[in-house]
Structure 1
């Protein structure tokens, strides 16, 4: 039985393809197809729901159901208004950051295919310092190289089209994965790798394991709420990302003391059930997996909250990955944190198998 884990070349190919795919909130199907295709060999059954949440199941006939979960959706924009000159104004789809938009390339998803554009911004020479304007949701705009609204419409652009960034995955200095949508496709990668480890190590689970890649987390945990009602799990271990607070301009007294490279982050919050959290901590200690701790005073802001308070209550825990520059196109996670999180959840599942399900 493995007591360690490192990302293989095949797994890295999957991660790159998965991160580079498009999965904006409400239109996650491209990313989900890649995820389902990868996980298909490691589970006994796959199901999807009406809005696109995907579930791989191991031991589907068990009455006890344990979920490990991530969310697939990434933040994006909507076309909200087209001027007579063909300039496009936008509305958020999730927590998109208006301050990073100027000078970014974009892709508009239309029924006729992709339309490329840029978030334009007036040159510094043309802006009066006394009247300096800063990017806001009211003034950022997309230029697609047309001169009229009619031209834009003829290209297939209309109000409601989704806009995404085209930035691709790369590895920085051997240690950091850099990409848009690491929030939270890195979680989708983690739970897929856990399924792979279970199969490769011939682990026989005494409970049903539901590997869930939820949709629409970025707009209110909606996919998790729906799938929890469908599966009605007994337990859920959620993965998501959290802030590296050693990045500039972040207050550790408010956001906590979390650093990339120092291991997975175990959460404390009202929605996190004490017994399962302590089991995870004890597992980390016994397997010598370095971890960090983070407090969320009321809500975790993750799908943990959706599972914990669904049905009659679900035993829930949260294991997060430290991440730099959340909701930008250069989100960063440390390779070591990803590997240690996969190992921690894998080992925790085996502890649950031993402690709670004895023949």
Structure 2
């Protein structure tokens, strides 16, 4: 049975998305978020496997020789405790591309062996600052205040150098159309690939290849989870989903960043790491199924796990489908619900086309 060229996020899927986004998945410590994701996808796959560093993989047809990956990354940006001064104030180091400009007045959670310790990024009041001496937030002057008066008090709470710091901001459905949250980069991708697996099962699609639904770790610090899992799986093809910038937002130069806007469809990427044939298959599928999409050029690399898969092993046919996002690497990342739904449908329809492609079938049959 084939679907009717339609998909919309239902209540149970939205409940999963909210739980997944509200969980914590800082780079290098993604286990909480991975457990939520695995628990959801488990009903739609034959097998679940994880690797040493926590990348999670749901597999349909694990015994098939032809292997196709659909992938997202699970980790979110965060901070490390880097230094505690004698007054108990905490200075930080980035874990991924955390933005220092958004920190003042933000609440935070410090993850310790004794549990959560709550704090705030403090900043001197406007009354105390001279305009001639105005300082701006930077990694060397932002600090976390946890309401103690000494380093000893902080350490007694379980805080030490190396503890991870995250933001507590929660998921918001804004005006019915926008998902707002921290960690949409790239848990929205994890949601998308999980929904694709769900559609395959609910539409009784009999795949002629092994499908590996991969939620990788440590993308934010160098595509590391994808590099590792590519060596483990050794796929024939990879379709990666991530986020990209909505360039209609203020202070962004479209001549440099491209012309992309939320609500106008997922973004199909052009870059050296993106293999032409699979990209054109995705474009043709979108056109045939009347799925609106946008295009974006990355001149050297995509900065996503696409690059890790494309150049692994002897080379893997790889493509990138991105979701337009406002305010990336902040706690109010925004994506449009329609773009998410269209990306899910586009990946599903692409897999359906591959499943019925003579080129792919011949390759499978000749192995």
Q: TM-score range by the shorter chain?
A: over 0.9
Cα distance in structure 2, aligned partners of 1:4 and 1:294 = 25
1:36-55 map, 5 Å: 36-55=38-57
Deviations 1:162-221 (A, max 9, x none): 000000001111100000000000000000000000000000000000000000000000
2:30 is the alignment partner of 1:32? no
Give the counterpart of 1:343 among 336, 340, 345. Answer: 345
Cα distance in structure 2, aligned partners of 1:324 and 1:317 = 22
1:1-359 map, 5 Å: 1-2=2-3, 3-355=5-357, 356-357=360-361
TM-score, reference length from structure 2: 0.97
Cα distance in structure 1, aligned partners of 2:325 and 2:122 = 28
Q: Secondary structure at the match of 2:41?
A: helix
Q: Secondary structure at the match of 1:357?
A: helix
Cα distance in structure 2, aligned partners of 1:352 and 1:69 = 16
Q: Secondary structure at the match of 2:201?
A: helix
Q: Secondary structure at the match of 2:283?
A: helix
Structure 2: gaps of 5 or more residues = none
Alignment size in residue pairs: 359
Deviations 1:279-318 (A, max 9, x none): 0000000000000000000010000000000000000000
Cα distance in structure 2, aligned partners of 1:203 and 1:146 = 58
Cα distance in structure 2, aligned partners of 1:140 and 1:99 = 9
TM-score, reference length from structure 1: 1.00
Offset of residue 66 of structure 1:
0.3
Offset of residue 67 of structure 1:
0.2
Offset of residue 357 of structure 1:
1.5
What is the root-mean-square deviation in Å for CA atoms of aligned residues? 0.5
Deviations 1:58-89 (A, max 9, x none): 01111000000000000000000000000000
Structure 1: gaps of 5 or more residues = none
